[in-house]
Amino acid sequence: MSSNFFSVSKLPNSEWDFFWNHIHLPDEIKYDALRLILTEHKMSSLVRDFALSKIIFVHGPPGCGKTTMVRGVCNEAGKRMIGEQCYFAELNFHNLYSQNYGESEKLIAKAFKYVEELSTFGNIVFILFDEVESILTEREITLSNANPVDAFRGVNEVLKSIDELSLKSPKTFYFATSNLLSAVDKAFVDRTDRIFFVDFPNYSARFQILRDVCETTNKAFSASINMNCSKFRKLVYVTQGLSGRQLRKLVLETVTSSDVLYQEPFKIQIDDLISVALRLKARNQASVPNDCQFDNCCTVSRRNPHERR
For the stretch 191-222, pLDDT in tens is 999 999 999 999 999 999 999 999 999 999 99
Q: What is the CA radius of gyration of the chain?
A: 22
Residue 4 confidence (pLDDT) above 80: no
CB atoms within 10 A of CB 256: 12
Asked if 37 and 78 touch (Cβ cutoff 8 Å), the reply is no
Peptide bond into 12 cis (omega under 30): yes
The pLDDT mean for the chain works out to 86
Residue type at 268?
I
Give SS3 for 284. helix
What angle in degrees, to the nearest 10, is found between the helix axes of 27-42 and 66-80?
Answer: 50
Phi-psi region of 154 (alpha: psi -120 to 50; beta: other; left: phi over 0): alpha
Q: Measured between alpha carbons, how far is 96 from 61 in angstroms, rounded to an integer?
A: 25
Q: What is the pLDDT of residues 50-95, one digit of tens each?
A: 988 999 999 999 999 999 999 999 999 999 999 899 999 998 776 6
Q: Measured between alpha carbons, how far is 8 from 137 in angstroms, rounded to an integer?
A: 24
Q: Measured between alpha carbons, how far is 72 from 82 in angstroms, rounded to an integer?
A: 17
Q: What is the pLDDT of residues 129-181, one digit of tens each?
A: 998 888 887 776 665 555 556 667 778 888 888 888 888 888 999 999 999 99
Q: Where are the beta strands (DSSP E) in the chain?
A: 6-11, 55-59, 86-91, 124-129, 172-178, 194-197
Q: Where are the beta strands (DSSP E) in 61-144?
A: 86-91, 124-129
Q: Measured between alpha carbons, how far is 64 from 23 in angstroms, rounded to an integer?
A: 9
Phi-psi region of 98 (alpha: psi -120 to 50; beta: other; left: phi over 0): beta
